[in-house]
Amino acid sequence: MYTLRQEAQEIESSLISIRRKLHANAEIAFNEVQTAKFIAETLKSLPGFQVYENIGKTGVVGILRGKNDRPCIALRADMDALPLTEAITDINAAFVSHNAGAMHACGHDGHVSMLLNFAKIIAPRAHELYGSLKFVFQPAEENGAGAEAMLKDNVLTIGDLDIDAFYGIHLWSGLKVGECISMPGPIMAGGDFFYLTVNGHGSAPHQTVDSIVVASHLVTALQTVVSRNIDPLKGAVLSIGKISAGTVANAIAASATLDGTMRFFDPAIGKILKTRLHEVCEGVAKTFKATIEIKYVDLFPPTINHPGPANLVYQSLSKIVGPSNIKDDRVMGSEDFSRFLHERPGSFFFVGCALPDGLDRPHHSPIFAVDERSLMVGTSVWLQLVEDLMVSGQGRNVTGQKKPNL
């Protein structure tokens, strides 16, 4: 493993160059055509890889078989950008996105670079693996549709090779380089969206149904859903993020729209929030003699790590960053890797990528940036995890349940 780690350090320049190439050519959900082509061509150039394209529309899957076909662990990197216009700074001026309205503002370019470079390192050593690896390059994480699309295209069994465990990594700007988050149980929240339309009508003041007044009461009423229905230790959010109503100052608005989101770590809490949303809307509508239409979108289930795989990740992370640098903070953001974890045992974890100047560069913002030293950390974690599970571990314990090699 020492020689592998040493080789990883030697390809650090490749980690950075690939990440910057992808960053400059950012492509949004289900439009990752050039990104997918680059990934597929890279995998095809490596010894031993079977490559499957157009899985989940634009997704790519690479299979590397070892001494045995099973067990098989899947390693996932999402590859889509966000529909944002990137702010040009001293950090990114040399590789700012060339595609208008598309920016890698969540680190997915780094995810792809880490997994591709790991593939370069491990491919010549496939004969050392007690089992197989399935490299899953997923489209459309940001709109919540990519994982489901890949599942529909049989990513779990493609190549006549069933996945025994699924692992995923995410760069995180809320952590310093060398810090990680790994824990069993819920690690990221479920995220649903709702769209409300309040219908009133204009008339004399005593005969009108004022949609803006109704919408205002609706906002304040919905703010009590979490505070008066959910245990504060459980963690939940219900927020209105957008309101639109009216066209002129001197007329009653006939309608108003309110767009919002819910976040929760327990699916049961999500059901409570959805039920209370409908009940509050019904009550406010009745009070003001209005009608309220509800469109509800179930987007992301909570990302819930399985205990066994989470423990295996923790052990591998400890060898790279040390136990004191592994945190167990849950993240209120959402992630469709949760759909893979619903189908197979696995674990999702975070690797810190904050720049050392301490400035806040949040995900999903035009100023998001990555400390590229984090790419080396993430690649080393992939190496260590596969070493622990599939080389020295001889494939006996890929889910943390000590099942024999298949």
Q: How far apart are CA 262 and CA 271, in angstroms?
A: 11
What are the residues whose beta carbons fall under 8 Å from the beta carbon of 206, sequence distance 6 or more?
none
CA distances from 273 to 67, 194, 227, 268, 280 (A): 49, 11, 11, 9, 10
Annotated binding site for Mn(2+): 106, 108, 142, 170, 364
Residue 161 CB-density burial (10 A; 0-12 exposed, 13-18 middle, 19+ buried): buried
Residue tagged active-site, from 27, 32, 78, 80: 80
Q: How far apart are CA 58 and CA 50, in angstroms?
A: 17
293 an active-site residue?
no
Per-residue pLDDT of the chain (406 residues; tens, 9 = 90+): 445 566 666 788 999 999 999 999 999 999 999 999 999 999 999 999 999 999 999 999 999 999 999 999 999 999 999 999 999 999 999 999 999 999 999 999 999 999 999 999 999 999 999 999 999 999 999 999 999 999 999 999 999 999 999 999 999 999 999 999 999 999 999 999 999 999 976 555 556 789 999 999 999 999 999 999 999 999 999 999 999 999 999 888 989 999 999 999 999 999 999 999 999 999 999 999 999 999 999 999 999 999 999 999 999 999 999 999 999 999 999 999 999 999 999 999 999 999 999 999 999 999 999 999 999 999 999 999 999 999 998 888 898 875 534 4
3-state secondary structure of 188: strand
Q: How far apart are CA 129 and CA 21, in angstroms?
A: 30
> pTM score, two decimals?
0.93
Cβ-contact 332, 265 below 8 angstroms:
no
What are the residues whose beta carbons fall under 8 Å from the beta carbon of 227, sequence distance 6 or more?
none
Residue 36 CB-density burial (10 A; 0-12 exposed, 13-18 middle, 19+ buried): buried
In the numeric block, which tokens belong to residue 103? 């920016």
Length of the chain: 406
Q: How far apart are CA 49 and CA 66, in angstroms?
A: 11
Phi, psi dihedral angles at 111 (to 5 degrees): -60, -45
192 an active-site residue?
no
Give Cα 36 distance to the centre of its chain: 18
Domains of the chain with CATH codes: 2-188+302-391 (3.40.630.10), 190-300 (3.30.70.360)
Q: How far apart are CA 293 and CA 258, in angstroms?
A: 10
In the numeric block, which tokens belong to residue 96? 């700012």
Residue tagged active-site, from 141, 266, 335, 372: 141
